[in-house]
Amino acid sequence: MTGDPFTSTLERTFARLRDQGLWRRRERRQSPQGPSIQVDGQTLLSFASNDYLGLANDPRLVEALCQGARRYGVGAGASHLLGGHSEAHHELEEALAAFVGTPRALIFSTGYMANLALLTTLCPRHGRVFEDRRNHASLIDAARLAQADRHRYRDVASLERALAAAAPGGLVVSDGVFSMDGDTADVPGLLALAQAHGAGLVLDDAHAFGVVGPQGRGTPAAAGLGHDPALVHMGTLGKAFGVFGAFVAASKDVIEALIQTARPYIYTTALPPALAACASTSLAIAIAEDHRRVELNERIHQFRAGATQLGLRILPSSTPIQPVILGDAARALDVSARLREQGLYVPAVRPPTVPAGTARLRITLSATHTRADVERLLGALSALPPDTA
Ligand SMILES: *Cc1c(COP(=O)(O)O)cnc(C)c1O
């Protein structure tokens, strides 16, 4: 008799996840993203998406996508080096380079792949990669794929010690805005340390572009930094820009190296050209409509002031990511379920995504939330039963 080769092993994994309160399930959304969403048939006020500027369902983007599809069809049909690269991709790359202020930019199908491409291209085997402990999973996986000699650091001071103990060179790798805590990296500090040690800095601004800095130009611009050949800047198009895809903005040589050698760039189908055209429209809107960032910042201040008054455990974040720390996974799940009963969609984030003991609500705010939306959230949070665990 030939048995199922998977079930017995997988059942052990499932049992462990259930025991630890880490079992996950997907819900079905029936509406576009926005403050009000439909999930599993219920209408909910959402504080869950990374659509920070409220562009994911903007009619101008929907129209740009349709127009792009009428011009280019749906699929890119091939990889970038074998006929898949379109005029729409190229125009988007030029607009992104101008936006970030770098000589060139390159589009990737996802941010995950852009990070795999960056580290495997910029780090030789056994090269040294210094990563912030809170970096996004794709940056951690990228260093593994690059077969790098990996170091994790806690802050700029511990990075300085790690660099001082190592030979010159290597790569410092950091999120610009940390995706689970919402705080911003000390980009000038990281860049100065990297330069002093002959290292490069890879900065993942997935949660910063569109939101942080003048016109949403990211964390280096927010700190007053211009283009620097030691800085390789990565961003995504699926968060504040409301579309899909990702990009790297950097010096001519770094971009050329990615095109010539990066396997996650070369061996995959190009992003649909219509999405590239749509992203160009989104970028132009995000640059022009400063009022979206103004409104978003008003909501952030409103939430923080209210949460502080309620005595909630919030973190030092000035971005749309505003976690409320609850402690263990069960408590976070329970609070999220209670909010859900009141018509609020606020997901709980549990280990291993965040460190043990810091399970939380990951509240995200958008420019399209109203003052009343945030008041409703604060009202629901104020009515929570005290932590009895
Ligand atoms: C979302 C995210 C990514 C991955 O981007 P995708 O385009 O969704 O694959 C990479 N890095 C960070 C910090 C992110 O938040």
108-158: per-residue pLDDT in tens?
999 999 999 999 999 999 999 999 999 999 999 999 999 999 999 999 999
CA 207 to ligand 1 center in whole angstroms: 8
Looking at residue 368, its pLDDT comes to 98
Q: CA triplet 198, 200, 206: central angle to 5 degrees?
A: 160
Nearest CA to ligand 1 atom 5: 111
Pick the CATH number of 59-288 from 3.30.1310.10, 3.20.20.150, 3.10.420.10, 3.40.640.10: 3.40.640.10
Nearest CA to ligand 1 atom 1: 206
Tokens 């990297």 appear where? 194
Give CA–CA dist 381/5, Å, rounded.
Answer: 47
**Greatest Cα-to-Cα distance within the chain, rounded to the nearest angstrom:** 68
| pTM of the predicted model as reported, rounded to 2 decimal places | 0.96
For residues 293 and 216, the answer to whether their CB atoms sit within 8 Å is yes
Residues in the chain, pLDDT under 50: 389
State the span(s) of the chain assigned CATH 3.40.640.10: 59-288
Nearest CA to ligand 1 atom 10: 111
Residues ≥6 apart with Cβ < 8 Å to 358: 325, 327, 351
For residues 247 and 277, the answer to whether their CB atoms sit within 8 Å is no
CA 236 to ligand 1 center in whole angstroms: 6
Looking at residue 352, its pLDDT comes to 85
pLDDT digits (tens, 9 = 90+) for 333-353: 999 999 999 999 999 999 888
Q: Give the CATH superfamily of 26-53+290-382.
A: Aspartate Aminotransferase, domain 1 (3.90.1150.10)
Q: How many CB atoms lie within 10 A of CB 313?
A: 12
Q: Which residues line ligand 1 (CB under 6 A)?
A: 110-112, 115, 136, 138, 175, 179, 204, 206-207, 236, 238, 246
- The catalytic residue positions are 179, 207, 239
Looking at residue 389, its pLDDT comes to 46
Looking at residue 206, its pLDDT comes to 98
Looking at residue 176, its pLDDT comes to 98
**Residue 116 backbone phi and psi in degrees, to 5:** -60, -45
CA 218 to ligand 1 center in whole angstroms: 15
Q: Is the peptide bond before 264 cis (omega within 30 degrees of 0)?
A: no
Q: How many CB atoms lie within 10 A of CB 151?
A: 18
**Closest atom, ligand 1, to C-alpha of 246:** 7
State the span(s) of the chain assigned CATH 3.90.1150.10: 26-53+290-382
Tokens 């994790």 appear where? 152
Looking at residue 4, its pLDDT comes to 86
**Closest atom, ligand 1, to C-alpha of 178:** 13
Instruction: Among 52, 108, 109, 112, name the best residue to mutate to test ligand 1's pocket (greatest count of ligand atoms within 8 A of Cβ).
Output: 112
Could you tell me the CA-to-CA distances from 14 to 74, 150, 153, 166, 305 in Å, in that order? 38, 30, 32, 41, 41
CA 350 to ligand 1 center in whole angstroms: 18
**Closest atom, ligand 1, to C-alpha of 115:** 10
Tokens 């929907």 appear where? 62
| Distance spanning both ends of the chain, measured CA to CA | 49
**Closest atom, ligand 1, to C-alpha of 136:** 13
Structure tokens at 183: 């705080």
Looking at residue 384, its pLDDT comes to 82
Nearest CA to ligand 1 atom 3: 111
CA 112 to ligand 1 center in whole angstroms: 6
Strand 200-204 relative to strand 231-236, pairing: parallel
Task: Report the 3 state secondary structure along the chain.
Answer: CCCCCCHHHHHHHHHHHHHCCCCCCCCCECCCCCCEEEECCEEEEECCCCCCCCCCCCHHHHHHHHHHHHHHCCCCCCEHHHCCCCHHHHHHHHHHHHHHCCCEEEEECCHHHHHHHHHHHHCCCCCEEEEECCCCHHHHHHHHHCCCEEEEECCHHHHHHHHHCCCCCCEEEEECECCCCCCECCHHHHHHHHHHCCCEEEEECCCCCCCCCHHHCCHHHHCCCCCCCCEEEEEECCCCCCCCCEEEEECHHHHHHHHHHCHHHHCCECCCHHHHHHHHHHHHHHHHCHHHHHHHHHHHHHHHHHHHHHCCCECCCCCCEEEEEEECHHHHHHHHHHHHHCCEECCEECCCCCCCCCEEEEEECCCCCCHHHHHHHHHHHHCCCCCCC
Tokens 């606020």 appear where? 346
